[in-house]
Amino acid sequence: MANIGQGIDRVDGRLKVIGRAHYAAEFTVPDVVHAVLVQSTIGAGAITGFDLAAAQKMPGVLAIITPDNAPKLHTQGGAQQTVRAPLLQDRDIHYNGQHVAVVVAETLEQADAAGALVRVQYRRDEPITSMDAVLDQAYAPKNFRNGERSPDSRRGDPDAAFDGAAVKVDATYITPIEHHNPMEPHATIARWDGNRLTVWTATQGISGAQQTLAGLFGIDKADVHVICPYVGGGFGCKGNTWPPATLAAMAAKVVGKPVKLALTRAQMFTSNGYRPRTVQKLRFAADDQGHLVSMRHDGFSQMSQPVLGEFAEPVGLATEMLYACPNVAVTHRLVATNASLPTYMRAPGLSSGDFALESAIDELAVALKQDPLEFRLRNYTEQEPHLNRPFASKVLRECYRQGADAFGWSRRSHEPRAMRDGNILIGWGMATSTYPTHRMPASVHVRVAANGTALVQVGTQDIGTGTYTVMSQIAADELGIPVERIQFELGDSAFPHAPVSGGSMTVASVGPAVKAACEAVRAKLQGDAGVPVPELLVRGNTPFVEATSEAKPGEEEKRYAMHAFGAQFAEVRIDADLGEIRVSRFVGAFDAGRVMNAKTARSQLIGGIVYGLGMALLEETHVDGETGRIVNANIAEYLVPVNADVPDIQTIIVPNDELTSNPLGAKGIGELPMVGVAAAVANAVYHATGVRVRKVPIRIEDLLV
């Protein structure tokens, strides 16, 4: 009974379709009242006073919480190390849209109406609204990758090698601010029972939320109960515990009733992070045979004011490890602006960084007059060159081959502007993808009954990716029980601990713990491996058996480099007169390790490629240069791909049965497929038009040269 790998339907699919899957804002909590956020209308400065008289007179108003009366939080502890976001603890304004007050009323409409009447007086400073103006004030991150490594790395002597090289590219690439825009906006219902806090909140990490809220309110972790059975997408913006969750709990404390606080779509642009703008300076060089001799990647990413925390977009990570090259230097710098704190967004660092890296590689291939795929194969590395370790596995060569075959790459003309269909210029471009294989410790509880059912519980999350389904498949195989008879529960901090659902690591982290707990159950019964566990219970006349097990990474993490890989191929069709760009075909071939569910995996791959198409051609958050206000804080003017933007997408999963990385052999599939898409499209645009666009999103006007 091999369930793993089968493309079975989502076990929670029916509940979602009939509306019975309850998301954070949808829980029925008796006596709940409603909170709305009031936001600053200036980009920098301080609050000098409030006029609350009109708002306070409005019907239904229970409280107006401002920095003048807000309960003091324990902000000095470890809980807020990454997000020291504004929590009404002082009158300083660091960005336009910062929360300055919370209005609580009996109904949402009453809270909204009162909130609109809150008047705030300010002392205005001049906001820094663009990183480009202050690039010379860049500084090194203090806590890069949680302090696990330096923001800079170097091997060999890249500058000398560059100076002496035959063929060079020296160029700057720019990526914009992007916002995640999951379908479900962030929402929290908070209820206090004495000193115990319960929150129903939309989060990618219930244990992080538990720890952060406990720290801020100065209570025991065990006294914070976080519930989150379903998440309507996160893409990174629900990874940290952002101010709205804390402010909901604060409001509930102030009014002594449960409080619901749901963000508006516009507030999704100011209240839970974004992908920061990057400016990346690359200097790459090759010898006349097409061997890379020097790679320098200096990355600048836009930040908030440092007082709000720190987030550095790790744009150089792929440059360090993707190709064989003896001389490589990578730096990461931050540029403070008056904006909210940036955060992880699908394939953080890798997607922005890979756009620059794989564009520059294409430019070098063009300069060398080599086929871009040939050039990459010439610089292929079997050894991870930064850590100087073998890869646990790497079937990227096979991704290149299968992707190129499916796409028809060998029929590509070398020269740009050489492939036409009437007035339409056709371009073919490709790029490499990679994403690290992460894993963290996780624990799982399993209880199997003699009636043939099993209950599996773990404090993980399903952010729409299929955790319920895939974990049920793993348990079913281990226990010898049909998938339908597995009751899989997650999203409750009362369950055993699991890591944040980020970094594409849920299957690799939680899957082995499910497996371990099932094995522990079986070991207790001392039965033959092939016999279903319920049958062992019947034989032994035992009503049930249960076990809790932890699984965690081991020595393999020190011996091997672990990455997923992919090869992305794009065809664009561009109107020669108008410059209109359409992506007409896309092929992605991936080394994602072992696939748990063919259907959810394919959905992830397609979704990631679509996300990448958004980066290539559409997505960009615009900030008003005068006020620092986001001007397209809605999904009408923040463009995301719709059906008409998405071509036929072919996804290929290249078999890889390696089990060194983790016991399930899963390399992570959530972020990998978006990496390289923007570069593949940009390279195709060059091939179609001869115009090299070094920024995304690529617009019609970029081609009018």
Residues that bind ligand MOS (CB under 6 A): 204, 234-236, 239, 344-346, 348, 502-503
- For ligand MOS, give the closer residue by CB, 234 or 429: 234
- What one-letter code names the amino acid at 658? E
CB closer to ligand MOS out of 158 and 239? 239
CA angle 11, 16, 18 (to 5 degrees): 115
Nearest to 222 by CA among 258, 195, 243, 242: 195
DSSP 347: S
- Which residue's entry shows tokens 């602006």? 337
Smallest distance from ligand MOS to CB 587, Å: 24
Q: 347 or 654, CB closer to ligand MOS?
A: 347
Shortest approach of ligand MOS to residue 352 CB, angstroms?
Answer: 12
DSSP strand E in 372-498: where? 383-384, 389-390, 419-421, 424-436, 442-449, 454-457, 486-489
Torsion over CA: 639, 671, 603, 393 (sign): positive
d(CA 517, CA 456): 9
Tell me which amino acid residue 17 is: V
Report the candidate in 172, 567, 572, 171 with the shortest Cα–Cα distance to residue 364. 171
Using DSSP's 3-state secondary structure scheme, residue 397 falls into helix
Q: Which is nearer to ligand MOS, 127 or 234 (CB)?
A: 234
CB 510 within 8 A of CB 442: yes
**Residue 236: CB minimum distance to ligand MOS, A:** 3
Please state the closest distance from residue 239 (CB atom) to ligand MOS, in A.
5
| Closer Cβ to ligand MOS, 296 or 563, answer by number | 563
Minimum Å gap between C-beta 275 and ligand MOS is 9
Measured in whole angstroms, the distance separating CA 169 from the mean position of its chain's CA atoms is 30
Residue nearest to ligand MOS (CB): 236
Q: How far is the CB of 344 from ligand MOS (least distance, A)?
A: 4
Task: For ligand MOS, give the closer residue by CB, 205 or 496.
Answer: 205
626 part of the active site? no
Q: Point out the catalytic residue in the list 358, 478, 619, 671.
A: 671
Q: State the Cα–Cα distance between residues 354 and 680, nearest whole angstrom.
A: 10
Q: Are 9 and 488 in contact (CB under 8 A)?
A: no
Strand bridging mode 33-39 / 259-262? parallel
Q: Are 308 and 276 in contact (CB under 8 A)?
A: no
Report, in Å, the least distance between residue 417 CB and ligand MOS: 37
- Whether the link from the prior residue into 663 is cis, omega within 30° of 0, is no
| Residues 6 or more apart in contact with residue 273 via CB below 8 angstroms | 180, 236, 237, 240, 242, 311, 340, 341, 342, 343, 344, 345
Residue number, 236 or 244, with CB nearest to ligand MOS: 236
Cβ(441)–Cβ(499) under 8 Å?
yes
User: Nearest distance from residue 204's CB to ligand MOS, in Å?
Assistant: 6
Three-state DSSP at 175 gives strand
If the CB atoms of residues 342 and 502 are measured against ligand MOS, the closer one turns out to be 502
DSSP letter at 223 equals G
Cβ–Cβ < 8 Å for 522, 542: no
Active site residues: 671
